[in-house]
Amino acid sequence: MKKQVGTKFNPKHFTSDQIKFYVFLIPLAIFMALPIVYLFVTALKPLDELLEFPPKFFVKNPTFQNFKDLLQRSGSTGLPIYRYLINSIIVTLAVTFLSVLFASMAGYILSKKKFKFKKVLFEINTISMMFVSCAVTIPRFLIITKIGIVNTLFAHILPLVAIPVGLFLVKQFIDQVPDDLIEAAKLDGAGDFYIYTKIILPLIKPALITVAILSFQTVWNNVETANLYVNKEELQTFAYYLSNLSNSSNSIAGAGVSAAAALIMFLPNFIIFLVLQSKVMDAMAHSGMK
């Protein structure tokens, strides 16, 4: 019997055997999608519908006025909202790129190279996945202060670059790359850089995409670095602006603006995961298999 290789976790073609799964999954998917739908319709509700009691799920008279009001608002120091958005985009892209780069390089070394304390280093990374961010707040603050990057964009970037779960996924994926393939490349004169860029990276795309998504979601929604390491308003992110929006504005007049801002924060995560979710499922399905 021939062994099938390359079978994907998410089959693309529909078969009659899948009907029993759809009978259960479709109602469950609809139920789980309700909060997402509510987020969209709430952002489009005029103020009178937002304050209506009892509240209605769907919007009767959709409007984009909430988004217009949001764009016309400014921070406590008069900065336009697009300044916060630009900061968020810069920080998010930088952290996502560096996270993928470092996770892939470290994963390659830990998987295919032999050196002392290799297992110890990987175990340290595995143990670090058990710690929540608040457990390392004080050491992080001391390090950020010591190296002198307080009140800079680097204070947003550096604490979020390392993603232990990302390194774990990438390392497990690289473990599945045959050692014979790498040895054959070395016999042909290939160096580590060529092997890393031309062999390893193309074969672990699902893991890299998963790390990129995890990193993006962490950074885009992060307010910890803004609260701890950055005091300058012009260097704050959109997540920080949104977190302070409800406190700085009237709870009634700012209801529509807050709803629009929440949707803007949610949309990038939703679109990225929607487009790349098959790669994420493949990475999760194969991360523990050798």
pLDDT in tens, 224-268: 888 889 888 888 888 888 877 755 555 565 677 788 888 888 888
pLDDT number for residue 3: 43
| Alpha-carbon distance values, 57 to 34, 38, 44, 237 (Å) | 9, 7, 12, 31
Looking at every residue in the chain, the average pLDDT score rounds to 82
pTM: 0.79
pLDDT number for residue 97: 95
* Mean pLDDT along residues 45-59: 80
Q: Is 144:155 a contact under the CB 8 Å cutoff?
A: yes
Query: Does residue 31 carry a pLDDT above 90?
Result: no
Cβ partners under 8 Å of residue 133, min gap 6: 224
Alpha carbons 269 and 283: distance in angstroms, whole number: 18
Higher pLDDT, 284 or 157: 157
pLDDT number for residue 248: 56
Q: Is 186:167 a contact under the CB 8 Å cutoff?
A: no
* Mean pLDDT along residues 126-140: 83
pLDDT number for residue 1: 41
Residue for token pair 């209801």: 255
pLDDT number for residue 5: 43
